[in-house]
Amino acid sequence: MLLARLIFESFSFAFNSLKVNKLRTLLSLLGITIGIFAIISVFTVIDSLESYIRDSLNSLGSNMVYIQKWPWAPPEGEVEYPWWKYQNRPVPKIEESEEIMRRSSSFQHAAFFYGFNRTIQSGSNQIDNVTVMATTHDLFDIWNLRVTRGRYFTESEMNSGAPVALIGAEIANKLFPEVEPVGQFIKIQGFRFQIIGLYERTGQDMFGTSMDNYIHISALKSFYMVDIRNNDAGQTICVKAKPNVDPGQFQAELEGVMRSIRRLKPREENNFALNEVSLISSQFDQFFVVFNMAGWIIGGFSIIVGGFGIANIMFVSVKERTKIIGIEKSLGAKKYFILFEFIFEAIVLSVIGGIVGLLLIFFGTLVVSYATDFTITLTAANIIRGLLISSVIGFVAGLMPARAASRLNPVEAMNTV
């Protein structure tokens, strides 16, 4: 009860003091506002960027491996990328994806795919340099693709190389602005395809690619259009493990299956790369650690400056209220009451500055998200972080002035002019 009363009266004194000295309060708020704005805005951008990158990486799939000619990163422990070692490797083949599924019961899906750019036509409408992705059936389940209208390929359509296609939302808007795209026909390199489905709009990922601008056709049909037997067109086999299969066991088994398919001898090096999303993710983890440290350093200086500003104002406040402090102490006010009074005043001042800084960040995120395709979100964690930093800075900045006020001699204080 006594503690609650002490806190209430301390806050009451603090607010009254801040209301009386509005200009001084405003100037004190400015330093903390700028500091909180600087440090939390950095963390907000970092968190939003990290979330965006994580979502993009997750779209590549978890617990899956991409079999390709080229590895995504240098060998472990090496800095330089030895491209000359990989130049003469064979590219993955569609037959290998089929053989992979036959040789193991741990794999849930395996899909072969690659991409090439072509001009797409439909009547008088034409789009140049469109990415056509040729694939096998299982890619739909591996990438969790979603069809908003129409349907996906059937296995018989894939296996027979039927002239059917699925298109992204942007392709549909450009080729068929006023008609339903499903059921329409397009021409790719002189070949006629019927559109059987429309993919859900996804937007761009961190790599600048988007399903909205892709066209999917059967890999078998594409072989009449592109000679990939000995050409590197980014051929990839994506293999997804069954649920609850250990990632290490999955990769080891897949490596053994691929070596068996390609008939590599025990001492021969792999002539293929097993790429995982974790390879990219680990590199981004290091980047975000450095970025977070930079955020603390940049914002830390601003916060310290704001803290000195509050401490300076609090010393001035103690000087101005010396006589009042003397009267309070002569009426029986204890040291801890005077101490709490000034500490709470500093904390309240700092927290108000922090709230103003957070409001500025919030409105800034709305503007950026509205003006660009990049969504920035002020998370609850960053709001709490901002308020905690403000409180700590207020406590530290107000501690010395509060101690000085609590130690004043009441008689000398009341006689102060």
For the residues 246-258, what does the mean pLDDT come to? Answer: 88
Distance of alpha carbon 270 from alpha carbon 76, whole angstroms: 15
| Mean confidence (pLDDT) of the chain | 82
- The DSSP annotation for 26-86 comes to HHHHHHHHHHHHHHHHHHHHHHHHHHHHHHHHHHT-SSEEEEESS-SSPPTT--S--HHHH
Q: Which of 319-333, 336-350, 370-384 is predicted with the least confidence, judged by mean pLDDT?
A: 319-333
Question: Does the pLDDT of residue 10 top 60, yes or no?
Answer: no
Residue (of 77, 74, 170) closest to 129 by Cα position: 170
Q: 3-26: string of b/e by CB count within 10 Å (b at 16+)?
A: eeebeeebbebbeebbeeeeebbe
User: Which residues pair with residue 273 across a beta bridge?
Assistant: 68
Lowest mean pLDDT among 46-55, 240-249, 269-278: 46-55
Alpha-carbon distance 387 to 350, whole Å?
Answer: 9
- DSSP labels, 333-363: --HHHHHHHHHHHHHHHHHHHHHHHHHHHHH
- For 263, phi then psi, to 5°, come to 55, 50
Query: Does residue 182 contact residue 149 with C-beta atoms inside 8 Å?
Result: yes
- Distance (Å, whole) CA 377 – CA 383: 11
pLDDT at residue 194 tops 90: yes
- State pLDDT tens for residues 140-165: 888 878 899 999 999 899 989 999 99
Residue with more model confidence, 215 or 401: 215
186 with 118: CB under 8 angstroms?
A: no
CA distance to 16, 205, 348, per residue, from 392 (Å): 22, 39, 11
Gap between the Cα atoms of 66 and 110, Å rounded: 10
Residue 207 pLDDT exceeds 60? no
Structure tokens given for 312: 């300076």
Provide the token pair at 295: 């955020």
pLDDT one-digit tens code per residue, 212-232:
889 999 998 998 888 877 678
**Cβ–Cβ under 8 Å, residues 216 and 165:** yes
Q: Name the β-bridge partners of 127.
A: 120
Query: pTM for the whole thing?
Result: 0.65
Question: What is 222-286 written as a DSSP string?
Answer: HTTT---SSS-S--EEEEEEPTT--HHHHHHHHHHHHHHHTT--TTSPPSSEEE-HHHHHHHHHH
Mean pLDDT of 309-321: 76
Mean pLDDT of 3-30: 64
